[in-house]
Chains A and B, each alone.
Chain A
Amino acid sequence: MIALVAVFLATPIASGRVLTDDTLSGRVLTDAVRVIPLPKGRLVALFHLDGLPQDPTAVGALMIGKDGREWQLRASAFVPQPQLLAGSGGQIYGAAISDDEQAAALSIGWLTPAREGRNGIVVLQKGPDRLFHPSSFVACNVGVGDVAFTANGDIAAVTRFAAHRSAVTVYKRTGAIAGEFFDDLVASGRRSSDLLMVRVDASRYALVDRRNGTLYRLQIGSSGTILGSVDLNAGLPSRGTLGPIQTVAMLASGEVLAVRQRVNSTPYTIVTLHSAAKTARWQIGRPSRTAFWNGEKLSIVTSVGARPFLQQFSLQEIRKGATHVP
């Protein structure tokens, strides 16, 4: 009861809006299992695809431009039909756009007609029509996850499969492997989908183990260096169930922003702000369906009854609402 009252009192009174049919991207974001922010205000929403009995785990994507244009993407559209199990949709795991905005990458997986899993990265180049079109394909022999372009245009990908292989592999666009890094960095039993990767600047990246809440600061160039780690569990309730981290962002201030849900009888959202000196924590009294940081604001999709509700918070609002964790 005390916990209930505490959560209620901690519920921020912030502006928000109910997402309706008329909110073009609202329903998409509500339904998304994950939202990946990309340059120039683009968002990629990943969502489960219904109605594919051959492929109940299919994941599609919707690329949402800041100008309102939307592009529906399915892994199966990038795979030659003879290599694809009929009636399957495949999975889109991650997306990235290069620094010069001339290339994009989508990490995908699919099933062959023999029901064997395949993974790879579709590389797209911007054409004279200013649209990204498929130009090459990088085959990955292991499960692939998040992708990010490096400063020199290579593609860094999360390539963790159970206890096997490196956590991050850097590929040339030709498909050649430029480097395999961090072999034993994350706990065994992790798969690519358990890890989030965010590029921070020219050479630094953040790799997050969503299951145990550890963020690794990495430098990836001709070699891979571990710069340190952050315990994103710091200051969180030791009892109860913490859901996987929904989103993480490395802020210009050097702080790390993370969002997760506490899953118990009264689920709610936990926003944490970590710096070298301290950790601050903020509870939002509604469970977050998904969350993402677009560089300016934190967007959290929650519910009011059965209706989806979007709340957006600036860093200033988060700092104001958060309390220091001893």
Chain B
Amino acid sequence: MRKVVIMTLLLLAAATSINAICPDIGVDSVRTIWSARCQTECPNDGCTGYADGHNCATYTRTDPCCTWCNRFGQCTQYYGNYAEVTTCFS
């Protein structure tokens, strides 16, 4: 029982932590399309992290063109005033 309580608390803490560092940035302009996608881990393309797109992601860039992960779990580019542009594409 104690283990269950501890595990639940840990899970709650983890979820809270993710939300804290990865707030929903909302749609602050037409050009800001990413929102509430923080908690999806990206498994593909050598890109790991959270699909947020704005200052809260922790990711590993092994793909030279990869900046963020989209909701399909694929590397993508952030689209907005915070954009990181690329000079390559597929």
Residue ranges of A at the interface with B (Cβ–Cβ < 8 Å): 21-22, 24, 27-28, 30-31, 47, 50-51, 60, 62-63, 65, 67-74, 76-78, 104, 124, 127, 129-134
In whole angstroms, what is the CA distance A131 to B46 when docked?
15
Given contacts A24-B71, A70-B77, contact A50 B87 (CB under 8 A): no
Known: A27-B33, A72-B78. 17 other contacts (CB 8 A): A24-B72, A28-B33, A50-B29, A50-B31, A60-B85, A62-B79, A63-B89, A68-B72, A68-B76, A69-B70, A69-B74, A70-B76, A71-B86, A72-B79, A73-B89, A78-B87, A104-B89
Whether B76 pairs with A30 at a CB distance below 8 angstroms is no
B contact residues around A24 at 8 Å (CB): 33, 70-72
Whether B81 pairs with A72 at a CB distance below 8 angstroms is no
Min CB–CB distance B81 → chain A (angstroms): 5
| Chain B positions 64-90 with a Cβ under 8 Å from a chain A Cβ | 64-65, 70-72, 74-79, 81, 83-90
Given contacts A21-B35, A68-B70, A69-B76, contact A27 B30 (CB under 8 A): yes
Whether B86 pairs with A77 at a CB distance below 8 angstroms is yes
A contact residues around B88 at 8 Å (CB): 71, 124, 127, 131-134
Min CB–CB distance B43 → chain A (angstroms): 14
B contact residues around A127 at 8 Å (CB): 88
Whether A21 pairs with B27 at a CB distance below 8 angstroms is yes
B contact residues around A63 at 8 Å (CB): 89
Min CB–CB distance A64 → chain B (angstroms): 10
Given contacts A21-B33, A27-B33, contact A134 B87 (CB under 8 A): yes
- Specify which of A60, A130, A134 is in contact with B90 (CB 8 Å cutoff): A130
B contact residues around A50 at 8 Å (CB): 29, 31, 81
B contact residues around A77 at 8 Å (CB): 85-87
Residue ranges of B at the interface with A (Cβ–Cβ < 8 Å): 27, 29-31, 33, 35, 63-65, 70-72, 74-79, 81, 83-90
B contact residues around A130 at 8 Å (CB): 90
Ranked 10 nearest A-B pairs via Cβ: A71-B89, A72-B77, A68-B72, A131-B88, A70-B76, A63-B89, A74-B85, A27-B33, A77-B85, A133-B88
In whole angstroms, what is the CA distance A180 to B72 when docked?
45
Residue of A nearest to B89 (CB): A71
A contact residues around B71 at 8 Å (CB): 22, 24
A contact residues around B31 at 8 Å (CB): 31, 47, 50
27 pairs, A vs B, C-beta closer than 8 Å: A24-B70, A24-B71, A27-B30, A28-B33, A30-B30, A31-B30, A50-B29, A51-B81, A62-B77, A62-B79, A63-B89, A69-B70, A69-B90, A70-B77, A70-B79, A71-B77, A71-B89, A71-B90, A72-B78, A72-B84, A72-B85, A73-B85, A73-B87, A74-B85, A132-B89, A132-B90, A133-B87
In whole angstroms, what is the CA distance A268 to B31 when docked?
25
Min CB–CB distance B26 → chain A (angstroms): 9
In whole angstroms, what is the CA distance A28 to B32 when docked?
9
B contact residues around A70 at 8 Å (CB): 70, 76-77, 79
Given contacts A65-B90, A68-B74, A69-B74, contact A28 B79 (CB under 8 A): yes
Residue of B nearest to A22 (CB): B71
Residue of A nearest to B65 (CB): A131
In whole angstroms, what is the CA distance A127 to B78 when docked?
23
In whole angstroms, what is the CA distance A24 to B65 when docked?
19
Given contacts A21-B35, A50-B29, A70-B76, contact A131 B81 (CB under 8 A): no
Min CB–CB distance B53 → chain A (angstroms): 11
A contact residues around B63 at 8 Å (CB): 129
In whole angstroms, what is the CA distance A73 to B81 when docked?
13
